[in-house]
Structures are given as C-alpha cells and as structure tokens.
A = this chain, B = another copy of it.
Amino acid sequence: MKAGLSVLLALVVMSSAFGKYVPKSGKRIPQTLSRGWGDQLIWAQTYEEALYWARSRNKPLMVLFHLEDCPHSHELRKVLSEDNGIQKMLDEDFVVLNLMYETTDKHLSPDGQYVPRIIFVDPAMTVRADIVGRYSNRMYAYEPADIKLLKSNMEKAKKLLKSEL
C-alpha cells in the first residue's frame, strides 16, 4: 500500500515536471527580446512601444536592424554586447529596440533596407538621419571596427534636438 502510494506520488511529480508541451522537433531554447544584443537591457518589443517610451522618458531611441543569418550582424552584435561602456550608456540613457523585420515606417530606412543598420530617433520623434556611419553607400551601417564612431554617435544622439527639460 505504502509502496503503491510512493509510486503514484512519483508518477504525479514526474508528470508535472515532464508533462509540459515539447515540440516534435525537440525542446527549444526560449527566444529572448535582446537576441544577444545585451541581455541586461530592457528592450522595447515594437517600434510603437519604443516611440512611446522615448517620448515619455525623454530619451533618444536606438533602433538596431539585424538578421539571424547575417555574419556582419553577428560580428557587430558580439562587439556591441561585450562593450560595457556602450551597454551602460544604452541602459541608462537610451530606449533600445532590435528588429529582424522592417516596419512600415519609411523614415527608418533613409537609404534603403539593409542589415546591420542603426538608426537613432529623437524623443521628439524625429529620425536622426544626420547621425551616420563611415560608409557613403550604406550610411547607417557599422562594422566592429566602427565601435568608437558608434559611441560618439550615441553621444550625439544624447544631445536632444529639443530638450523638454
């Protein structure tokens, strides 16, 4: 009787531990909103949400366009996510959004849709098309070697167009 109860208990425990849905293709690692660009940052999910945060907190927004199967995106991600200075600045002074899919807003692709691409948006909701990288044909692209330029562009973005303070 006691043994029977123990077996029953064990079965109940097992079914609650192993009873969760598992896809046929095997267990998946849950997707994060950071997608590797900074696990400690608080990421907006959508552009609408990011704009709302930027406006209400009076902070500039940084939008990162990237793709999972793009090696240039991966290289930039590694450098950006491991640079504590950038991570701290993003966390404290920016609203952040990373997207793998273009929005319908054409202002976010001033010279076309490509990845990786970094666009700053002022809390007054103006896209800072003036803050550019090193490449004249892809003005908002950055490579790992451009990380210093990216930092100084972040400083530029922090000087708001029209401060509400």
Interface residues, chain A, with chain B CB atoms under 8 Å away: 19-23, 27-28, 30-34, 38-40, 42-43, 45-49, 52, 82, 84, 87-88, 91, 99-104
Contacts and interface: CB of A to CB of B under 8 A. Distances in A.
A101 B23 contact: no
Given A99-B45, A104-B48, A30 B27 contact: no
* Copies of this chain, tallied across the complex: 2
B40 A28 contact: yes
A31 B43 contact: yes
Contacts of A45: 33, 45-46, 99-101
Given A32-B33, A49-B100, 17 more contacts: A19-B84, A20-B82, A21-B40, A21-B91, A22-B40, A28-B40, A28-B42, A30-B40, A31-B33, A31-B34, A31-B43, A33-B33, A33-B45, A45-B99, A46-B46, A48-B104, A52-B101
